Structures are given as C-alpha cells and as structure tokens.
C-alpha cells in the first residue's frame, strides 16, 4: 500500500483505477515506407475514424446548439474526404514513399497556405478548417486519445494539471475523481470537480508517478490522501466514510423545495455557477434558485475559431429556456491569465494575470465583444437575463461597455430582432480598485457580483494557482472580508444588490459572516446548494451578526 499526501480541494471518496491523462499532442515523425499500399490503408483507416468522430460531434452540436452549430462539423467531414486532399496525400505516399503522418502534415500545410493566400475572406477561413481536420486524422494515426481518456470503465484521472481547454473536452462520464501533481484549490480542475460533486486532490507532486497507471486507488478529497493498492482495513474504513457521506447527502435531499431563510427570518438567494448548457441539469436536480455565474468562455475554449453570433445565441438561448424563467447571469468573455486560447493570438506576457484579459480584451477588440453582446441580447427574449462584465477597475470601462450594449440594442431594434427590455447589467468586483471605488461603480450598474478567487489573489498579491504559497493565500484574510463588507454597504446605499460568485461563497465557515454583512446572493457549484441551504437555515443572525461585525471592525493590529 502506498499513501501520497496532497491537498484535498473537493470532498468525497473516489475508488477506481488510476488513469493518466493523454494530452492531445503528437510528434510527427518522418520516415520512408516500403509497403506503400499498407501505408495508404493506414491513412484511409484514420480518415474513416475522423469522419465518424466528426459525425458524432455534429449530432451532439445539433442537439445542444442547433443546425448551424452542427454545420461546422459536417463541413469538416466533407473536407476530410475531399478528392483533391486525398489525392495529394496518396501521391506523397506512393511516389515519395512518405509515411502517412508526414504526408498528412505536408498536405495540410500546403492546402492551408493555398486557402490563406486567396482574396476571398470565406476561403481564407478554410485554412484553419483544413488544419483542424488534418490534426484529427494525425491524432488517430499517432494514437492520441480524443478527450484524454481511452478507458472502458470510469477512472480516477491523474495529470500534472489540466488547462481549462482540456477540462472542457473531457468525457465526464468516465471520471470518478481528479488527482493532480500541481494545481491549487482555485484551479480549474478543482472547480470542475466541485461542480461535478466528485473528489479531487491537488499538489501531489512527483510522488504521483506514471508507473501507477492502472492500479487500484482511493482518493479522499477531504483529507487529500491518495491511497494506491489499499489494504483491506484502509479500504473498509474509506468505504464506510463514503457511505456516511452518501447518507448525509440523502438527508440534505429533504431540503429541496425549502426556503433559504435563517431562524430569524433573513432570506438569501442561493444560485449556481455553471460552465456550459449541460450543467443546467445539475442546477435543476440540486434545486438551485437561478444561475449566478455562467462562464461564457466555455464556447471559446471549446472551439477552434471564434464562435459565431448564432452559435453563441443558441447556447445562451438553451440555458435561458431550460431555466424556465429563473434568473441567469452570464459573464462576458473572460480569457487571458490562466485561460489562453490560441486563435486569439494574445501576446506572451510576463505576468498575464495582470495583463490583457477579460473586459480589457473586449474593449480593445470590440468586434469580438459586439458579436457576443448581440448573441446575449437576442437570447434575452427567451428568459430572465443578467449580463456582467469581469475584471473591472474603473468607471470609464463600465460606461464604455454599457455604451456598446446600447449600440447593439439599437441595431437589433432596427433589424426587427426581439430582445428583453429588462436585462440587468452588472459587474464583477474582483480587483481591489473596483472594491475601493464601489461607491461610484454602484451608480453605473444594477448589481455587483464579487469574484473572491481573484479578489483574494490581487488583494494579497498571491498567485491563486501557486499551491506552494499555502497559508499565505488566505481567502479568510481580514482585508478580503473587509473589502466584501465595503462593497456590500456601497451597493445597498445605492439601491443595488450584491452577490458572491467566487469559491468562497460555498465555504460554510463563512456563511454566518456573509449573512451578517448583508450579502443578497451566494452563487456556488450545484452540489453546494443543499449544504449551504442547511447552513443558512441553522443560523440566527440576531445572535451571530453583532459578534461578527464587531470582529470585522476590530483594529487589525490588535488581532
């Protein structure tokens, strides 16, 4: 039995085989082949496999986002079996005796360059398509696994760490838990695990060795212990722990349909954070009151090129329609920092968390922002929509974003396209600058949503992704809590509501503090709704609020 200690970032006990994530990268080797006929058949097999994959993706896209979204994959199917494309590959294999991988790679570059040199913008865009199709064929030839998991049974997924673009494409039905060498409590792997309600351990370091592949393991997301080849006593103990957790979950199920109200009658809204339309089901089964944060960047992370207005519209419309009149707050594009997307061609930055990201990208590249705003306002005709802008630091940024919203609405009205007249506009408070200026910002918007992950990072000058900082990264730091209190007071003085959509909202040790401060809404992962509701219903703010507010007002040097 081997026990490796890391940091538990999502509670629960997961039991299953360890499986190491297969990253979708393939080194293209070049060599001469003798049996050109066999090599041609290798290519044809990979081509057929790619066409089948694209067909399944088209079906999935049609079900989730409509016919237009499916057309991209259907176009790629046709491109994969284009006769000129095939013939060029066949010639390289037969005449130059190139291996299939090198032949596909060379033809992809040749065709992409040909498309890129054309005057027609539509044909220029096909350069990216032919590269994407060819990469899919190459992945099959090189044995790279699409989605990172080639297992017939669910697994404990192991990795160094996972990027947002990788987590979005995982086959989540095959994941029992996450265990990573790096990462932190606010990494995207941890956030995904909490959304899925499965255990996750980060920071296992070099002790998480690839040779453990396939061995039975137990991940305890509460303690951060990963046990490989557990003995009978350890297995029995952790199995009992899992059963107890399931029993408590069944008890929490009785809270479905109950109000989020304290013993003394104080009510708070409990909403959910989601990352894709598929997550709406989790919101519904966990009795979330609405969606307080829909991370729209999933559309960009899960695409090889900028998603079109119609593709975005279909996704937003699906979420709003499925939520059946409940409030849905969609955050505009938030990439940069740890969420990098190749086709944005963002310059390399020494400190990307402080650089070109989120609203800064939208305001400097208005064509991207305008496309998203059009899709959002079109979707607003199908439900109760709120739009919020991330990474705000100044009043002028908010005014510029609002001006673009008004332009989009005027254009839609001229075109006769319906949109909701009551769309609320809000901002995320996740920089100290926004918190300190929240009295002025409150006059510009309908609501605030506090992003505690970044607010903690920027306030404490601690990289949220750096697990080595340990106790230095302290979301409970008095400075962070005082900023939350300041923001809440400034919001209420100006007649707007304030929520928390960062991971801190689900921290049950702070529920009484947020109630005492007067936060109006907590938006958490779907699996956190019922435990949070339970904590709210057990609180009496008449008893707790005076003590908490006194602690927040206490001179810091006396603590």
Element (H, E) at 108: helix 100-116
Mean pLDDT score across all residues of the chain: 89
Tokens, residue 500: 């928390």
Q: Is 142 a catalytic residue?
A: no
Select from 376, 370, 369, 372 the least CA-distant residue to 420.
Answer: 376
Q: How many CA atoms lie within 13 A of 226 on its CB side?
A: 32
Residue 104's nearest CA partner among 72, 128, 136 is: 136
Kindly tell me if the per-residue pLDDT of 342 is higher than 90: no
What is the reported pLDDT for 419? Answer: 97
What's the pLDDT at 296?
Answer: 92
- Residue 463 annotated as binding? no
Please give the Cα distance from 487 to 496 (Å, whole number): 11
Say if residue 433 is exposed, middle or buried (CB neighbours under 10 Å; 0-12, 13-18, 19+).
middle
pLDDT of residue 382: 97
- Check residue 434 and give left, alpha or beta (phi > 0: left; psi -120 to 50: alpha): alpha
- Reported as a pLDDT band with limits 50, 70 and 90, residue 558 is very low
What are the residues facing 442 on neighbouring strands? none
The answer, yes or no, to whether residue 17 has pLDDT greater than 90, is yes
- Taken in order of first residue, the domains within the chain and their CATH numbers are 2-21+148-251 (3.50.30.10), 36-141 (1.10.274.10), 263-558 (3.20.20.60)
Q: Is 410 annotated as a binding residue?
A: no
Q: Over the stretch 68-124, which tens digit does the pLDDT of each residue have?
A: 667 778 888 988 989 999 999 999 999 999 999 999 999 999 998 888 888 776 677
* Dist CA 525 CA 453 (whole Å): 14
Segment 13-23 shows an average pLDDT of: 89
Q: How many residues does the chain have?
A: 559
Q: Got the DSSP string for 307-372?
A: PPHHHHHHHHHHHHHHTTTSEEEEE----BTTB--GGG-PPP-SSGGGSS-THHHHHHSHHHHHHH
Q: How far apart are CA 195 and CA 252, in angstroms?
A: 17
Asked if residue 62 belongs to a known ligand binding site, the reply is: no
pLDDT at 46: 92
Residue 381 has pLDDT above 60, yes or no: yes
**pLDDT number for residue 556:** 46
Q: What is the DSSP letter of 276?
A: S
Is residue 559 over pLDDT 50?
no
Evaluate if residue 147 carries a pLDDT over 70: no
Instruction: For residue range 187-199, list pLDDT tens digits in order.
Output: 777 877 887 788 9
Distances (CA, A) of 533 to 245, 260, 287: 17, 6, 10
pLDDT of amino acid 502: 80
Sheet holding 2-5, edge to edge: 2-5, 225-228, 216-220, 13-20, 155-159, 175-180, 200-202, 7-10
Residue 487 near residue 440 (C-beta atoms within 8 A) = no
Is 454 among the annotated ligand-binding positions? Answer: yes
- pTM surpassing 0.75? no
Q: Each residue of 504-546: pLDDT tens digit? A: 999 999 999 999 999 999 999 998 999 999 999 999 999 999 9
Percent of the chain at pLDDT > 70 equals: 93
Q: For 244-291, what is each residue's pLDDT tens digit?
A: 888 888 888 889 999 999 999 999 999 999 988 988 998 999 999 999
Q: Does residue 240 register a pLDDT over 80?
A: yes
Look up residue 85 and give its two tokens. 């494309």
Catalytic residue (one of 272, 362, 405, 501): 501
Q: Please report the beta strands in 133-275, taking only residues with DSSP state E, as ranges in sequence order.
A: 155-159, 175-180, 200-202, 216-220, 225-228, 269-274
Query: What single string gives the DSSP state of each residue in 214-239?
Result: T-EEEEETTTTEEEES--HHHHHHHH
User: In the chain, what percentage of residues exceed pLDDT 90?
Assistant: 64
CB 408 within 8 A of CB 366: no
Asked if 227 contacts 242 with a C-beta cutoff of 8 angstroms, the reply is no
430 annotated ligand-binding residue: yes
- Cα(255)–Cα(531) distance, rounded to whole angstroms? 9
Which one from 41, 76, 188, 492 is the annotated catalytic residue? 188
Q: Is 464 annotated as a binding residue?
A: yes
Minimum mean pLDDT among 157-161, 185-189, 382-386: which range? 185-189
Query: Between 60 and 419, whose confidence is greater?
Result: 419
Q: Is residue 405 among the annotated active site residues?
A: no
Q: How far is CA 174 from CA 80, 150, 181, 463, in A?
A: 29, 9, 20, 31
């Amino acid at each position: 039995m081997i026990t490796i200690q890391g940091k538990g970032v999502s509670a629960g006990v997961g039991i299953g085989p360890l499986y190491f994530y297969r990253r979708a990268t393939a080194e293209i080797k070049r060599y001469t082949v003798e049996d050109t006929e066999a090599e041609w058949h290798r290519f044809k097999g990979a081509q057929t496999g790619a066409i089948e994959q694209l067909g399944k993706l088209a079906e999935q896209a049609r079900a989730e986002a409509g016919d237009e979204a499916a057309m991209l994959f259907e176009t790629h199917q046709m491109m994969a079996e284009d006769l000129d494309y095939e013939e060029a590959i066949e010639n390289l294999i037969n005449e130059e005796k190139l291996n299939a991988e090198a032949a596909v790679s060379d033809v992809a570059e040749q065709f992409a360059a040909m498309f890129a040199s054309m005057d027609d913008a539509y044909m220029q865009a096909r350069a990216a398509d032919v590269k994407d199709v060819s990469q899919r064929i190459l992945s099959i030839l090189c044995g790279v696994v699409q989605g990172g998991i080639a297992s017939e049974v669910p697994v404990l997924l192991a990795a160094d760490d996972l990027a947002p673009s990788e987590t979005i494409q995982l086959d989540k039905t095959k994941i029992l838990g996450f265990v990573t060498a790096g990462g932190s409590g606010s990494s995207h792997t941890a956030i995904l695990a909490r959304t899925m309600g499965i255990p996750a351990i980060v920071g296992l370091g070099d002790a998480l060795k690839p040779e453990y592949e396939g061995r039975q393991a137990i991940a305890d997301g509460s303690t951060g212990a990963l046990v490989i080849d557990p003995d009978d006593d350890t297995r029995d103990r952790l199995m009992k722990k899992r059963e107890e957790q399931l029993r408590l979950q069944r008890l929490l199920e009785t809270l479905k349909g109950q109000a989020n109200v304290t013993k003394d009658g104080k009510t708070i809204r409990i909403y959910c954070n989601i990352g894709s339309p598929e997550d709406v089901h989790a919101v519904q089964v966990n009795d979330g009151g609405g969606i307080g944060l829909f991370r729209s960047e999933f559309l960009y992370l899960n695409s090889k090129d900028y998603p079109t207005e119609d593709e975005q519209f279909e996704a937003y419309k699906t979420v709003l329609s499925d939520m059946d009149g409940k409030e849905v707050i969609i955050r505009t594009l938030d990439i940069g920092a740890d969420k990098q997307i190749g086709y944005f061609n963002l310059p390399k930055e020494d400190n990307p968390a402080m650089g070109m990201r989120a609203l800064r990208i939208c305001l400097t590249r208005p064509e991207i922002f305008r496309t998203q705003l059009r899709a959002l306002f079109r979707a607003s005709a199908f439900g109760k929509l709120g739009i919020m802008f991330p990474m705000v630091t100044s009043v002028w940024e908010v005014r510029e974003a609002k001006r673009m919203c008004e332009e989009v609405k005027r254009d839609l009205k001229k075109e006769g396209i319906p949109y909701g007249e009551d769309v609320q506009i809000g901002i995320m408070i996740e920089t100290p600058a926004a918190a300190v200026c929240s009295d002025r910002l409150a006059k510009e918007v309908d609501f605030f949503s506090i992003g505690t992950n970044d607010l903690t990072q920027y306030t404490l000058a601690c990289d949220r992704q750096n697990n080595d900082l340990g106790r230095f990264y302290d979301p409970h730091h008095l400075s962070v809590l005082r900023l939350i209190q300041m923001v809440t007071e400034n919001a209420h003085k100006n007649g707007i509501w304030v929520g928390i959509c960062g991971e801190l909202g689900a921290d049950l040790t702070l529920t009484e503090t947020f109630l005492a401060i007067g936060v109006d809404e907590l938006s958490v992962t779907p699996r956190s709704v019922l435990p949070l509701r339970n904590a709210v219903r057990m609180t009496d703010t008449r008893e707790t609020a005076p003590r908490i507010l006194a602690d927040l007002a206490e001179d810091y040097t006396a603590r």
